[in-house]
Amino acid sequence: MAGPNLELFKFSLYLFFPLAIMVHYGDPQWYHDNVLPLRDQFWPDEGSLYKPPRNRADVKTALEELRQQRLAGKSDVNTGKTSAHPSSSQSSSFTPSLRPNGSLGRFSTSQVTGVRQPGSSTWREQWAESQQRRVV
């Protein structure tokens, strides 16, 4: 055995090493010299951050803006206009996403037309069948 000297060394290391790290990195001068110059490289500008509404009036104005965006999106869909960047309200619209060759993929077109062809199944049934095949 190494004796009590080793125990004293280990105790002092366990106790004073974290304290020395906290004193060194907690120093305000070290923070101003090393952290503040690099802070803007890691964090976005505060003006570009989302600020949620904090009171009743702000919530009402935010809801009104969302309502106006939704109505504008519906009017664009009804008139056939498409925007360059679809919003989240337009992404749930009824238009299918086509593959590069123009096909709809493996799901039937009954979702788009609303008319089911005889012998065709819905996309949910097809998905359930594909999941059942994977389990086996």
- Mind listing the pLDDT tens digit for each residue in 63-102? 999 999 999 988 877 776 555 555 544 444 455 555 555 5
pLDDT at 130 over 90: no
Assigned domain for 115 exists: no
Give the Å distances, CA to CA, from 74 to 70, 82, 90, 97.
6, 11, 8, 18
Assigned domain for 32 exists: yes
* 34-38, 60-64, 79-83: the lowest-pLDDT one: 79-83
Assigned domain for 24 exists: yes
pLDDT at 19 over 90: yes
pLDDT at position 102:
53
Counting the structural domains of the chain, the total is 1
What is d(CA 134, CA 30) in angstroms, rounded to the nearest whole number?
Answer: 57
pLDDT at position 64:
95
Assigned domain for 84 exists: no
Assigned domain for 56 exists: no
pLDDT grade for 21, boundaries at 50, 70 and 90? very high
Instruction: Please state the rounded mean pLDDT for residues 48-58.
Output: 91
Assigned domain for 112 exists: no
pLDDT at position 47:
86
Instruction: Answer for the pair 108, 122: CB distance below 8 angstroms, yes or no.
Output: yes
Instruction: Answer for the pair 82, 76: CB distance below 8 angstroms, yes or no.
Output: yes
Please give the residue range of the domain that contains residue 8: 4-41
Assigned domain for 60 exists: no
